[in-house]
């Protein structure tokens, strides 16, 4: 019943989103559209019976652009972090998501960046686009360095794309550990369970002193920080 109710709510919100796009796109007003999306997501935890505990969020400067990086346990991770990160963040997503009618156009408009995960050239183009927006508009981005959701609850190898973006933009990496979403909605399921989610923000990691030659050290450092917040 909760899932049906949520689907109905989001059907209405997609219609409202379409109206907002028609009105605000010609005016270049992105933030109202982003706030609408954040408000829509804020309805979900209560409806789905998800209780969220947050720690360390005070370490994030709301005015500083970051590249937020998190482990990826569930479909719930993106919406929850989009809601809980104390900034108007953008996300780099696989290009297939942008094919969703209305939603795809809205995401492009507010500064979300599509990436072709099968193309090195396409990945470089996406990184360049995001770095430009970070410098030009001071956007922050959320990236899941594992690239996809875990199948078994364990942390996967980190890919380099987000770290190339950090080096190109010069923005610090803000590691996040999320716990509990795998148990609520593991990969391959479409329904959620009631339960508790913990979100831990770690101190940002500056990228000064790192380059492509010692990027592996940076990747390992960020991964170790994120994994340190997971159960032993």
Q: Which domains does the chain have, with CATH numbers?
A: 50-228 (3.40.1130.10)
> Residue 211 has what pLDDT?
95
Which residues of the chain have a pLDDT value below 70? 1-34, 36-37, 39-47, 102
- Give residue for tokens 């508009």: 137
3-state secondary structure of 146: coil
> For position 123, what pLDDT does the model report?
86
* b/e 130-168 (16+ beta carbons within 10 angstroms → b): bbebbeeeebbbbbbbbbebbeeeebbebbbbbbbbbbb
**Is 133:198 a contact under the CB 8 Å cutoff?**
no
Report the pLDDT value the prediction gives residue 34, as an integer from 0 to 100: 65
């Amino acid at each position: 019943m909760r899932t049906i109710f949520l689907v109905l709510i989001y059907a209405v919100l997609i219609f409202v989103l379409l109206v907002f796009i028609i009105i605000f796109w010609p005016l270049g007003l992105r933030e109202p559209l982003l706030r609408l999306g954040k408000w829509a997501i804020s309805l979900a935890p209560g409806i789905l019976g998800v209780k969220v505990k947050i720690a360390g969020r005070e370490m994030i400067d709301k005015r500083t652009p970051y590249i937020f990086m998190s482990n990826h346990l569930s479909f719930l991770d993106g919406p929850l972090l989009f809601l809980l990160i104390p900034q108007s963040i953008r996300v780099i997503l696989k290009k297939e998501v942008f094919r969703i009618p209305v939603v795809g156009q809205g995401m492009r408009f507010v500064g979300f960046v599509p990436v072709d995960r099968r193309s090195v050239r396409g990945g470089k183009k996406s990184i360049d686009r995001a770095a430009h927006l970070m410098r030009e508009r001071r956007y922050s981005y959320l990236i899941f360095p594992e690239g996809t959701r875990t199948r078994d609850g364990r942390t996967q190898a980190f890919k380099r794309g987000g770290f190339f973006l950090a080096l190109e933009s010069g923005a610090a990496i803000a590691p996040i550990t999320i716990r509990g979403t795998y148990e609520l909605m593991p990969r391959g399921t479409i329904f959620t369970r009631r339960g508790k989610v913990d979100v831990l923000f770690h101190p940002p990691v500056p990228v000064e002193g790192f380059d492509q030659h010692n990027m592996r050290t940076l990747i390992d450092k960020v991964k170790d920080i994120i994994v340190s917040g997971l159960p032993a």
